[in-house]
Amino acid sequence: MEFSAAMIAAYLHGTVEGDANVTVNHFTKIEEGRPGALCFLSNPKYEPYLYTTDASIAIVNADLQTKEPVKCTLIRVPDAYQAFAMLLQLYQENLPRKKGTEQPCHIAESAVIGQDVYIGAFAYIGENARIGDRAQIYPNTYIGDGARIGDDTTVYAGAKIYADCQVGNRCILHAGTVIGADGFGFAPREDHTYSKIPQIGRVIIEDDVEIGANTCIDRATMGATVVRRGTKLDNLIQVAHNVEVGSDTVMAAQSGIAGSAKVGAHCVVGGQVGIAGHLHVGDGVQIAAQSGILKSVPEGRSMFGSPAFDYKDFMRSYVVFRRLAELKKQVDNLSELHKSS
């Protein structure tokens, strides 16, 4: 399908600068632009490409002041990144969705399957499981006994959802995701061996959550491990038993949350962050990559380091400890002067 600059601007509530009748039929990065393509510019680092791109239309921030002539038509919007994301989402929503049941697969007689559902080959759907309307269950997935999958949710190939776990509406679970494996619960014995503590709880994933590939969310020892509405988890993340992650929190790859920790709403967690067990991280907390959280964090704080402390304090300290070798040499010299005096 082709769309004109005027049509795109009307959808985005933007303004056209250039040929309003020029059309596009595909997306591209600004540095790889070619005729018929739509691109965007939000990061100033990529501004030089705006003057050389062959893309037909570029979406830019309304306040951008161009420094050279621009060949392509511009659509000015308040937030170019968000506007481009809206167009990509619209494009994806209009792609054809799979329907029907491929064979071979196993669907228990007691399972309840909604309308317009796609179930891929070699999928397993257990006893009393419920699959919502328009759900997409890709090949080689496992849906355990009593599990619940909401409407319009997509479960990609190889994902595993253990018994009695619940996934809400409009969720996306990427390949290899494991929901509801046993939490890491073992009691030490006197002979230095370990006794397994049965994990009899479940996992609740609320609506509009996206979970990246090979991320694991463990079932609770008792009760539920909960991921609240709108949260986005990257690939290769570990969420341990009885953890609660608040709504609209984002967490980057290779991070881990230990058992019974509570992470608030609207938090931003960088990659390779570790959060110790039984802690509380308040709403709106930002944690820089590779930080280690060893004590509870009040809401609204920014943290950095391992063990982590206030981001601004860390940066002031960094100015000092990056010079420790030089400072030590100065102290040694002063010590030698003192001895010789």
User: CATH no. for residue 151?
Assistant: 2.160.10.10
In a domain, 81, yes or no: yes
Task: Tokens for 55, please give them.
Answer: 């893309």
In a domain, 329, yes or no: no
Average pLDDT score over residue span 108-130: 98
Give catalytic status of residue 241 as yes or no: yes
Of 58, 93, 128, the one marking the end of a domain is 93
List pLDDT tens digits, range 66-95.
999 999 999 999 999 999 999 998 888 888
- Domain of 270 in residue numbering reads as 100-314
Distance between CA 118 and CA 76 in Å, rounded?
Answer: 39
Do 22 and 116 sit in the same domain of this protein? no
Burial 30-41 (b: 16+ CB within 10 A, else e): beebeebbbbbb
Of 93, 118, 145, the one marking the end of a domain is 93
Do 308 and 211 sit in the same domain of this protein? yes
Do 111 and 235 sit in the same domain of this protein? yes
Residue 182: name the closest of 196, 167, 166 by CA.
196
Which residues have C-beta within 8 Å of that of residue 329, sequence separation ≥ 6?
Answer: none
Do 123 and 86 sit in the same domain of this protein? no
Burial 156-185 (b: 16+ CB within 10 A, else e): bbbbbbbbbbbbbbbbbbbbbbbbbbbbeb
Do 111 and 219 sit in the same domain of this protein? yes
In a domain, 338, yes or no: no
Task: Tokens for 173, please give them.
Answer: 């679970």
In a domain, 257, yes or no: yes
Do 51 and 140 sit in the same domain of this protein? no
The pTM (predicted TM-score) of the whole model is 0.88
Distance between CA 78 and CA 13 in Å, rounded?
Answer: 9
Distance between CA 230 and CA 239 in Å, rounded?
Answer: 16
Lowest mean pLDDT among 66-75, 85-94, 255-264, 286-295: 85-94
Do 119 and 89 sit in the same domain of this protein? no
Task: Examine the pLDDT at 119 and tell me if it is beyond 90.
Answer: yes
What sign for the dihedral angle of Cα 250, 254, 255, 257? positive
Q: What percent of the chain has pLDDT over 90?
A: 87
Q: Can you give the pLDDT at residue 329?
A: 86
Q: Can you give the pLDDT at residue 298?
A: 97
Q: Can you give the pLDDT at residue 253?
A: 98
Distance between CA 255 and CA 27 in Å, rounded?
Answer: 32
Do 163 and 270 sit in the same domain of this protein? yes
Given the residues 26, 192, 241, 266, the one annotated as active site:
241
Do 78 and 160 sit in the same domain of this protein? no
Task: Examine the pLDDT at 339 and tell me if it is beyond 80.
Answer: no
Q: Can you give the pLDDT at residue 341?
A: 67
Output the domain CATH number for residue 53. Answer: 3.40.1390.10
In a domain, 339, yes or no: no
Q: Which residues pair with 300 in a beta bridge?
A: none
Burial 75-111 (b: 16+ CB within 10 A, else e): bbbeebeebbeebeeeeeeeeeeeeeeeeebebeeeb
Burial 203-227 (b: 16+ CB within 10 A, else e): bbbbbbbbbbbbbbbbbbbeebbbb
In a domain, 328, yes or no: no
Task: Tokens for 92, please give them.
Answer: 């994806």
| Distances, alpha carbon 327 to alpha carbons 16, 112, 321, 331, in Å | 58, 70, 9, 6
Do 106 and 250 sit in the same domain of this protein? yes
The total domain count for the chain is 2
Do 26 and 174 sit in the same domain of this protein? no
In a domain, 333, yes or no: no
Of 93, 115, 132, the one marking the end of a domain is 93
Do 38 and 118 sit in the same domain of this protein? no
Task: Examine the pLDDT at 102 and tell me if it is beyond 90.
Answer: yes
Task: Tokens for 13, please give them.
Answer: 């509530």
